[in-house]
Amino acid sequence: MSVFASPRFLPNVMWADAASCAATGALQVAFTGALARLTGLPAPLLLGTGVFLLAYAAAAAFMASRRTPPRTLIGLVVVGNFGWALGCIALLMSGMFAVTALGMAWVLAQALCVVVLAELQWTGLRRTRGGTNMAIA
């Protein structure tokens, strides 16, 4: 059986999304000042997005834990993840902040991570289209 065909594929991707957002959000909240100095990103932006990521991580974990993954919500997550990546690129291209090399790496790593997760989520949604039973054994 292909890993993509597994009934656990989509929930596992959502768990990965939840974990990555929880880790990033926790770092941004716990070390706002230090990250602001190291990245050149404004502390309020880091703190605000960190809090958002923690709340999102809880929502993603909720979706991952459902017996039947909520397809509509996960579809919104796919759109949101692609939007987050576009926002990251726009932030860097805007030149609004004196972002350091580490700041560019921090933002680009987030963009890359969410694009990969969005693609995996989209793949999982496509593989489960048509009412395929997604019950978790």
In this prediction, residue 134 has a pLDDT band, given cuts at 50, 70 and 90, of: very low
In this prediction, residue 41 has a pLDDT band, given cuts at 50, 70 and 90, of: very high
pLDDT at 7: 72
- What single DSSP character describes residue 41? -
Tokens of residue 15, six digits: 């768990």
Residues recorded for the chain: 137
First CA to last CA distance, the chain: 15
Cα–Cα distance, 44 to 2 (Å, whole number): 44
